[in-house]
Amino acid sequence: MFATFAPPPQLSGLVRMFWAFEHEVPGNTPYVYRSMADGCAELIFHYRNRFSPLSGTEGAGFSHLHAQTSRYSRFLTHGSFGIFGAYLYPTAVPLFFGHSASSVVNSMPDLQSIMGRDGIDLEERIITARFHHQRVAILSDYLLALLSRRKPANGAVQLAVQTILRANGMVNIKALAGSISLSTRQFERNFKAAAGFSPKLFTRIIRFHRALDAYGQYDGNLTGLAYECGYYDQSHFIHDFREFSGYLPREYFLGRPEGIEYRE
Same domain, 110 and 137: yes
> What is the tens place of the pLDDT at every residue in 35-90?
999 999 999 999 999 898 886 555 557 899 999 999 999 999 999 999 999 999 98
Same domain, 75 and 198: no
Same domain, 179 and 246: yes
Which domain-ending residue is among 119, 147, 175? 147
Predicted model pTM: 0.91
Which domain-ending residue is among 117, 147, 177? 147
Q: What is the model's pLDDT at position 55?
A: 64
Angle CA 235–175–199, to nearest 5: 55
Q: What is the model's pLDDT at position 8?
A: 96
Domain count within the chain: 2
Same domain, 138 and 172: no
> What is the tens place of the pLDDT at every residue in 118-156?
999 999 999 999 999 999 999 999 999 998 887 766 678
Question: Whole domain around residue 213: which residue ranges?
Answer: 155-263
CATH number, domain of 223, equals 1.10.10.60
DSSP string, 203-246: HHHHHHHHHHTTTTT--S-HHHHHHHTT-SSHHHHHHHHHHHHS
Which domain-ending residue is among 118, 147, 176? 147
**Rounded to whole angstroms, how far apart are CA atoms 111 and 209?**
26
* Contact of 208 with 235, CB cutoff 8 Å: no
Position 9 confidence tier, pLDDT thresholds 50, 70, 90: very high
> Could you tell me how many residues make up the chain?
264
Same domain, 139 and 9: yes
**Rounded to whole angstroms, how far apart are CA atoms 8 and 16?**
10
Angle CA 244–56–215, to nearest 5: 35
Same domain, 8 and 125: yes
Same domain, 84 and 107: yes
Same domain, 132 and 159: no
* Contact of 66 with 97, CB cutoff 8 Å: no
